[in-house]
Structure 1
C-alpha cells in the first residue's frame, strides 16, 4: 500500500501486536478456566465461593496458574486499551466468563448432591 505522500505504509507491526494481544487474552482465559477446573476437582463435594471466600481444599499450584492467567489477561487489556479504550475491560470480563460459568455449574451440581469424583492428589 502506498500512503498519500507516496511512502509505503506498514501495518504489519500493528497487526502483529493485535494478534499477540488476542493470543494473550485467549491464553489468560484458558489458564483461568483451568485453574478453576483444578479447584473444582480438589473440592468435588464442596461449594466454591464465586468471588470472596476460600474453598476447603486449595492446592498451591492453583495460585501459580491464576497468577499466570491474570498476567496474560492484564497484558492483553493494557495493550488493547490504547486502541479500543475502556472497552478492553469488557474483554477482561469476557475472559473470566468461562470460569464463572464452570463455578455456577459446579455449585449447582453440589447443591443437587451430584458429586464428581475426587481428584488424585500427588504424593
Structure 2
C-alpha cells in the first residue's frame, strides 16, 4: 500500500498538537542577520546565557551561539541548542516580533540540565514585550 502524504498517523498527531517544528523561516541564519542583532545592543543576561534581541516587523526568529571555548564537547553544545530550541518552540506564539540570538556566556561545568533549562526560561521570560 502506498503512503499518502498528510495521511499518516504521525501527520495527524502533528496537526492535533500544532506545529512543534523549527522551520527555516523561524531561524536567524546569515552572518549579517546575527551582526544586526548584536549591533542593536539590547540583551537580557542570565547565569549562563545572554539573549540578544532586535525588534522586527515579522515573526520571532532564533539564532544560537554556543562557542567551543565555553562548551568543550560537541555533546554539550548540542544539548544546549536542543534545550533552547525546545523552549523557543513552546513559547513561539507568545513572543513578539524579534530577531533573537541566544549566546552561551559562561562555562556550564557542573551545571545540571534543570539549571540550564531554568536559565533559558528566565532570559526568555525577561524579554521585553
Give me the TM-score of the superposition, normalised by structure 2.
Answer: 0.26
Larger strand proportion of the pair: 2
Larger helix proportion of the pair: 1
Greater Rg, structure 1 or structure 2? 1
